[in-house]
Amino acid sequence: MSNKISFVYKNGLSFLMLLSFFVIGSGFVKNDSTEISERKKRKNIVRTAQKYIGCKYRSGGKTAKGFDCSGFAYCVMKENNIQLKRSSRDQALQGEPIKISKLKPGDLIFFASKSRINHVGIISENGRNSLKMIHASSSRGIIEEDILKSTYWQQRIKEGRSVL
């Protein structure tokens, strides 16, 4: 190879490598490993939440001995290396807002009375005819419940957020 061709080949190849790193890193092209990693993290969050189904409700609780709603979300996310604030009102200020129809398993859903957030649940499923959450019910402890089958919860939905 002549020196001119060798120079162009080496520098052209370097340029293409730099360009591809820029395009992947900039978000123009979605990195498959990032997408897989997010799906795995979401599954792990739901699995973690499901292992606590049946635990008792306890006001101010944030352990398996008893949970309130925000203590439950706090504990589940902590086990998945996501830092949440302790109260549902503070948790509702974290992460990114998500339309209810776009919530994914592992996202948080918030409820309010008179515009004041007072409850949080973890989305476990968002299907065509269901929107399930795992949460701490004051009367039944940690349960999984379909929000769309409950007029009580439907009337109180305030917002959804992703903290991933």
Partners of residue 146 on adjacent β-strands: 132
Selecting among 49, 55, 69, 84, the annotated active-site residue is 69
Selecting among 42, 135, 158, 161, the annotated active-site residue is 135
Q: Catalytic annotation on 55?
A: no
Q: Catalytic annotation on 130?
A: no
Query: Which residues have C-beta within 8 Å of that of residue 128, sequence separation ≥ 6?
Result: none
Selecting among 61, 92, 119, 161, the annotated active-site residue is 119
Q: Catalytic annotation on 135?
A: yes
Structure tokens at 27: 């978000």
As a whole number of angstroms, the distance between CA 138 and CA 58 comes to 8
- Can you spell out the DSSP letters for 81-142? T----SSHHHHTTSSEEE-GGG--TT-EEEEEETTEEEEEEEEEEE-SS-EEEEEEETTTEE
Instruction: Look at residues 154, 86, 8 and name the one whose alpha carbon lies nearest to residue 94.
Output: 86
Query: Which residues have C-beta within 8 Å of that of residue 92, sequence separation ≥ 6?
Result: 108, 110, 117, 120, 158, 159, 161
Catalytic residues, which ones?
69, 119, 135
